[in-house]
Structure 1
């Protein structure tokens, strides 16, 4: 730990338009921003070894409060040395609060001022999640960046419902801050809510800044509103948050979502898409998406992407990847997930370099032009 920061801090190192590059310093290592966080829902990035995830260029992983509290249990993880040791990842971990999963997965949930009671999607057992309990679970897990407990309404919803939900989340944010306490080496992020309504977003941001957090997330997007509406909110929402703190867009997304978010001032993102796509035979490349299930790849000796340096592209043909996916071999998920995560980290690296050089607009044009070309012609 010698020479490492005692507290989590953010330093912006460059800006091009609204796009920013910088470093989040933590006792467990630096996080280069813009950063994409692979999702390790239940203590694992599916189909990947932790050291392989690191090889793709990831500086930080996301763990899931809801899933880990249900199985194997936060107290058990704490007894076994915390999430870092449990899953063999010694770099930073961000844990979400559990609020989104309660909204999207849990059965028979009941929402009150105190918190949420719900039935587990695994076995139907009854649980309660409050701001205080969410902070306790994330402390037991030992995560470096902790998220406030919030309520996330599915969109579309009425302005009245979104406003009521946002104000509840702001009261929960204050309770989360109090329950979090003073924990050197760990950070607490607040979550801006307000749907796609500018006034509600402004009200939420004002309240969060008043409470005071180590970083700020833009929440409540990527929940069914569509890219155009999401970008519409991102045209103003990041600017409502402090300039000297990291800004995190939760649950995003496809490659063009990520580039568009960074263009609008976002520093951190996470999404299950690259790993989930890998398990279903979808590969993301510079020239768009490749469906390895398609018969056109059956006799193709070429790699997914001839310019990619991941193991799937260096060592295996499209024909082989097609074969192992069709044969339901585990190596298919491993190779395609590695490729997708590698590609996502290449996007982040490219954006960091372009922002630092002041060439982000040219980089973005090249990114979109490559995707517009579409996949290579069949053999």
Structure 2
């Protein structure tokens, strides 16, 4: 079992290409992590996820706590065996649900009590319990338990939330059980307030973690504010540790994040879009429910290696969605995740060849240009 560390291999401006070394194998960065909230990437088998080129996936503490239960997963051999994913797994601590399930939780200084969205049963998450659950799941990367308000919010609200999260970060770190090849990441909070973000970074680096995440963005502030916050926050983070932007985002969000020094991303967008007939492509997004695809014999995107593109036409996918056939979301999710992984590989190659700015301009021009005519 190897040690956990991130190794930089190339840089182009603020952008970095490297390799994340973990107990469950290496991951090339920058990387996009498909979201497997409940121990599965929706509509995908583990083999299908692997075929897209994904090197690491994400699970969720809150949802796996509710069902089947962390202790049951541990008894069944851990999340890697349970979901047939021997590679690295990062687990979100449940902190996002503190915000997204605001109507179903009660927050205090010690932690959060949730009323299950499934059956109303009560569940308690504290920094210690969140860390314990992630250990039971055998997460390669454990996240600190945190709390972040939706934006916009007052500076006072953001400051109080950030400082609570920093206290919880210290408790999460104390509860973390070090193992070779495993890691725990601290989460920078502070909304879009530069001074609060800097205070959060100082607190987290003072505690010391194997990696650092930027949380509390893509929660209503818009891309411009997100990017400007990254511009001032990311340079404060240790240069020898991996940097993770949580819950982001569109292809352009990923590109902009990499240009600002981010190494890791996750988001439900490509899988959710796959279930709602939206395809991500090199020329923007397509809505395959649109009638113009009914007789279109082209693939979604020429050259894409996914089965939706190599074996089927836009017309067939249009039919599947119109007929509410489950194969439509399966194939389109496969395509979207394949596109996201291809996007990240292309960006990584551009960094190693010191041509990221030109590559970024080409990508954005193609997205803006739209779907070429038949």
Task: From 162, 167, 177, give the equivalent of 2:173.
Answer: 177
> In structure 2, what is the equivalent of residue 199 of structure 1?
195
The SS at the match of 2:21 is strand
Q: CA deviation at 1:350?
A: 0.3
> In structure 1, what is the equivalent of residue 78 of structure 2?
82
The SS at the match of 2:192 is coil
1:344 and 2:340 are equivalent in the alignment: yes
Q: How does 1:7-86 map to 2 (within 5 A)?
A: 7-86=3-82
Alpha-carbon distance in 2 for matches of 1:359, 1:289: 25
1:153 and 2:146 are equivalent in the alignment: no
Alpha-carbon distance in 2 for matches of 1:307, 1:71: 40
> In structure 1, what is the equivalent of residue 206 of structure 2?
210
The SS at the match of 1:40 is coil
User: Any conservation in 2 of the 1:106–1:119 contact (CA below 8 Å)?
Assistant: no
User: Any conservation in 2 of the 1:100–1:152 contact (CA below 8 Å)?
Assistant: yes
Alpha-carbon distance in 1 for matches of 2:239, 2:299: 42
User: Any conservation in 1 of the 2:104–2:117 contact (CA below 8 Å)?
Assistant: no
- Structure 1 runs of 4+ with >2 Å offset: 105-108, 181-185
**1:196-227 superposed Cα distances (whole Å, 9 cap, x missing partner):** 00000000000100000000000100111111
Q: CA deviation at 1:107?
A: 3.4
Alpha-carbon distance in 1 for matches of 2:42, 2:354: 36
Alpha-carbon distance in 1 for matches of 2:181, 2:13: 32
Alpha-carbon distance in 2 for matches of 1:106, 1:53: 32
Alpha-carbon distance in 2 for matches of 1:223, 1:307: 34
Alpha-carbon distance in 1 for matches of 2:144, 2:179: 14
**1:331-356 superposed Cα distances (whole Å, 9 cap, x missing partner):** 11111000000000011000110000
The SS at the match of 1:170 is helix
Q: CA deviation at 1:181?
A: 2.9
User: Any conservation in 2 of the 1:24–1:33 contact (CA below 8 Å)?
Assistant: yes
1:94 and 2:90 are equivalent in the alignment: yes
The SS at the match of 1:224 is coil
Alpha-carbon distance in 2 for matches of 1:294, 1:233: 37
- 1:106 to 1:199, Cα distance in 2 relative to 1, 3 A: closer
User: Any conservation in 2 of the 1:63–1:94 contact (CA below 8 Å)?
Assistant: yes
> In structure 2, what is the equivalent of residue 128 of structure 1?
124
**1:7-41 superposed Cα distances (whole Å, 9 cap, x missing partner):** 21111111001011100001211011000000001
User: Any conservation in 2 of the 1:107–1:118 contact (CA below 8 Å)?
Assistant: no
> In structure 1, what is the equivalent of residue 323 of structure 2?
327
> In structure 2, what is the equivalent of residue 371 of structure 1?
367
> In structure 1, what is the equivalent of residue 314 of structure 2?
318
Gapped regions of structure 1 (runs ≥ 5): none
User: Any conservation in 1 of the 2:113–2:125 contact (CA below 8 Å)?
Assistant: yes
Q: CA deviation at 1:106?
A: 5.2
User: Any conservation in 1 of the 2:24–2:86 contact (CA below 8 Å)?
Assistant: yes
Alpha-carbon distance in 1 for matches of 2:271, 2:34: 8
Q: How does 1:218-233 map to 2 (within 5 A)?
A: 218-233=214-229
Alpha-carbon distance in 2 for matches of 1:12, 1:218: 19
Q: CA deviation at 1:182?
A: 2.2
**1:236-293 superposed Cα distances (whole Å, 9 cap, x missing partner):** 1111110000000000000000000000000000001101100110000000000000
User: Any conservation in 1 of the 2:23–2:180 contact (CA below 8 Å)?
Assistant: no
User: Any conservation in 2 of the 1:107–1:121 contact (CA below 8 Å)?
Assistant: no
- 1:169 to 1:375, Cα distance in 2 relative to 1, 3 A: same
Q: CA deviation at 1:306?
A: 1.2
Gapped regions of structure 2 (runs ≥ 5): none
Q: TM-score, normalization: structure 2?
A: 0.99
Alpha-carbon distance in 2 for matches of 1:365, 1:327: 39
User: Any conservation in 1 of the 2:96–2:147 contact (CA below 8 Å)?
Assistant: yes
1:245 and 2:241 are equivalent in the alignment: yes
**Which is worse superposed, 179-188 or 148-157?**
179-188
Alpha-carbon distance in 2 for matches of 1:106, 1:72: 23
User: Any conservation in 1 of the 2:53–2:341 contact (CA below 8 Å)?
Assistant: yes
Q: TM-score, normalization: structure 1?
A: 0.97
Alpha-carbon distance in 1 for matches of 2:65, 2:92: 12
